[in-house]
Amino acid sequence: MRFVIIGAGRVGLRTARVLHEEGHDVVIVERDEDRAARARTESFEVVEGDGSHEATLVDAGVDDADALGALSGDLNANFAACMIAKHHGCRTVMRIDEDYREEIYQKYADEVDEVVYPERLGAIGAKNALLGGNIQAIADIAEHLQVLLFTVTESSPMRGYTLSEVALPSQARLLAFGKEGEPMGLPFPDDSLEVGDRIAVLADFEVLGDVRQLLVGDDAGETLASAAGGAPGPGGADGGDAR
């Protein structure tokens, strides 16, 4: 696939690296000469100019791109780039920082395909690294909802049971299941839970402790309970915890 990335700063350049490593074609648009030069030293194709100008995006090949990621630190420039790209038939992804109010977020979210919060994504990654263990936060879905990935342990009360026998709290839903060492897929009632198997669950923050106790066991339960109790609302950098 072909992508246009607006901004060669921390977020934009790292995203471009990941896409490039996966074999995609990436063009970076950057108006700062030093950042543009740094991106070129990493062998990226760079168009110097303002990503909020249509002529610049045309030069970057927006007509042939599958998607545009407006990932600079300038919210207005990001939004303008997305509107231009949308006009050219591109999928649009816009960066917005955490210090904007919910109504500002909603204003922009209604106009683009996806909104990303670098601070929130970074916080989830840092949180997982700090906590370790057998539970991993994947994404914040809403103010009180989070998708978590649980790994079945020796102490799991559900080890040896089938998925049909797992009675999750009413505020939690089983999304996917994978045997140890195999890809995750749709959960089936007859799948059995063994050590190392993984379960993706959508859960309300209020029942994270119950879900952890059911699927993982007693290991480090207090961490999850205290973290979930301090979950912030929309716009918070963390959005809850998982352990």
Give the Cα separation of 153 and 71 in Å (integer): 39
- Both tokens of 231, joined, read 């979950």
Q: Say whether 100 sits in a helix, a strand or coil.
A: coil
pLDDT of residue 42: 92
Q: Say whether 57 sits in a helix, a strand or coil.
A: helix
Give the Cα separation of 145 and 75 in Å (integer): 26
Query: Do residues 40 and 58 lie in contact, with contact meaning Cβ atoms separated by under 8 Å?
Result: no
pLDDT of residue 142: 56
- Both tokens of 160, joined, read 């040896």
Give the Cα separation of 70 and 68 in Å (integer): 6
pLDDT of residue 83: 94
pLDDT tens digit at each of 243 positions of the chain: 899 999 999 889 988 998 898 889 999 999 999 999 999 999 999 999 999 999 999 999 999 999 999 999 888 899 999 999 999 999 999 988 766 555 666 777 778 888 887 766 666 656 555 555 666 666 555 556 778 888 898 889 999 999 999 888 888 888 889 998 888 888 898 999 999 999 989 888 888 888 888 888 865 343 333 333 333 333 333 333 333
Query: Do residues 9 and 42 lie in contact, with contact meaning Cβ atoms separated by under 8 Å?
Result: no
Q: What is the DSSP letter of 8?
A: -
Q: In sequence order, which ranges of the chain are alpha helices (DSSP H)?
A: 10-21, 33-41, 54-59, 75-87, 102-109, 118-131, 208-215, 221-229
Contacts of 93 (CB under 8 A, 6+ apart): 67, 68, 69, 70, 71, 82, 112, 113, 114, 115, 116
User: Of 156, 148, 149, 163, which is closest to residue 195 (Cα–Cα)?
Assistant: 156
Contacts of 125 (CB under 8 A, 6+ apart): none
Give the Cα separation of 54 and 228 in Å (integer): 45
Give the Cα separation of 227 and 34 in Å (integer): 41
Give the Cα separation of 122 and 128 in Å (integer): 10
Give the Cα separation of 88 and 65 in Å (integer): 9
